[in-house]
Amino acid sequence: MEENNPIENNPMNGIGASTPQAATNPAANQAPAPDETSTAQAPTAQMPMAAGNQPAVGAAFVGAPAGAQPAAAPTGAGTVPPQGSVPTANGAAPQPQQPQQPATILQKIMCFGGFAFAVVFLVLAIVIKSWNSALFMLLFILLALISLGTCIAALVMTQKKNSHYKPRILSIIGIVLTVIALIVGMPNVMAVNAQKSESSAESETSTATSAESETSTATSTGTESETATPTETATSAASDASLNPTKITDEASLKSISEAQENDLITRLTAQKDALTSKISDYDSYKANASEVEAFYDTIASETEKTLLLYRQDAAVYANAVLSSGKSAHDMYSDIDAIDDDLYNGVLDDTLDDVYNGLLDDLRDALYNGVLNDPDAASDYSEWSSICSNEYSQNSRSSSEVYAAISSTSSKIYSFSSALGIHLYSGDIDAAKKELSDFQAELDNNNQ
Band (pLDDT 50/70/90 cuts) for residue 60 is: very low
Q: Which of 100-114, 372-386, 412-426 has the highest mean pLDDT?
A: 412-426
Question: Is 218 a residue whose pLDDT tops 90?
Answer: no
> Counting Cβ atoms within 10 Å, is residue 132 exposed (0-12), middle (13-18) or buried (19+)?
middle
Residues 102-156: pLDDT tens digits? 667 777 777 787 788 778 877 777 766 555 555 566 677 777 788 778 778 877 7
Nearest in space to 424 (alpha carbons), one of 324, 354, 334, 346: 334
State residue 130's pLDDT score: 54
Residues 257-285: pLDDT tens digits? 999 999 999 999 999 999 999 999 999 99
State residue 106's pLDDT score: 75
What lies within 8 Å, CB to CB, of 6 at 6+ separation is: none
Band (pLDDT 50/70/90 cuts) for residue 220 is: very low
What does each C-alpha distance from 199 to 159, 172, 189, 206 come to in angstroms? 54, 49, 28, 11
Residues 161-184: pLDDT tens digits? 666 676 777 778 878 887 887 777
Residues 92 and 98: beta-carbon distance below 8 Å: no
Residues 281-327: pLDDT tens digits? 999 999 999 999 999 999 999 999 999 999 999 999 999 999 999 99
Nearest in space to 391 (alpha carbons), one of 403, 409, 373, 404: 373
State residue 7's pLDDT score: 46
Give the amino acid at 128: I
- What gap in Å lies between CA 174 and CA 168, rounded to an integer? 10
b vs e for 236-256, b when ≥16 Cβ sit within 10 Å of the residue's Cβ?
ebbeeeebbbbebeebebbbe
Supply the mean pLDDT for the chain.
Answer: 72
Between 109 and 215, the more confident residue is 109
State residue 396's pLDDT score: 95
Residues 405-420: what's their mean pLDDT? Answer: 95
- What gap in Å lies between CA 121 and CA 144, rounded to an integer? 7
State residue 182's pLDDT score: 75
| CB atoms inside a 10 Å sphere around CB 210 | 10
Q: How far is CA 128 from the centre of its chain?
A: 8
State residue 401's pLDDT score: 95
State residue 134's pLDDT score: 54
Nearest in space to 154 (alpha carbons), one of 107, 115, 105, 100: 107
Does the CA dihedral 298-300-302-303 come out positive or negative?
positive
State residue 417's pLDDT score: 94
- What gap in Å lies between CA 82 and CA 327, rounded to an integer? 84
Question: Is 441 a residue whose pLDDT tops 50?
Answer: yes
Largest CA distance in the chain: 186
Q: State the virtual CA torsion across 74, 76, 79, 84 in degrees, nearest 10.
A: 140
H, E, C per residue of the chain: CCCCCCCCCCCCCCCCCCCHHHHHCHHHHHCCCCCCCCCCCCCCCCCCECHHHCECCCCCCCCCCCCCCCCCCCCCCCCCCCCCEECCHHHCCCEECCCCCCCCHHHHHHHHHHHHHHHHHHHHHHHCCCECCHHHHHHHHHHHHHHHHHHHHHHHHCCCCCCCCHHHHHHHHHHHHHHHHHHHHHHHECCCCCCCCHHHHHHHHHHHHHHHHHHHHHHHHHHHHHHCCCCCCCCCHHHCHHHCHHHCCCHHHHHHHHHHHHHHHHHHHHHHHHHHHCCCCCHHHHHHCHHHHHHHHHHHHHHHHHHHHHHHHHHHHHHHHHHCCCCCHHHHHHHHHHHHHHHHHHHHHHHHHHHHHHHHHHHHHHHHHHHCCCHHHCCCHHHHHHHHHHHHHHHHHHHHHHHHHHHHHHHHHHHHHHHHHHHHHCCCHHHHHHHHHHHHHHHHHHHC
User: Dihedrals φ, ψ of 315, to 5°?
Assistant: -65, -40
- What gap in Å lies between CA 65 and CA 48, rounded to an integer? 17
Nearest in space to 174 (alpha carbons), one of 199, 144, 197, 195: 144
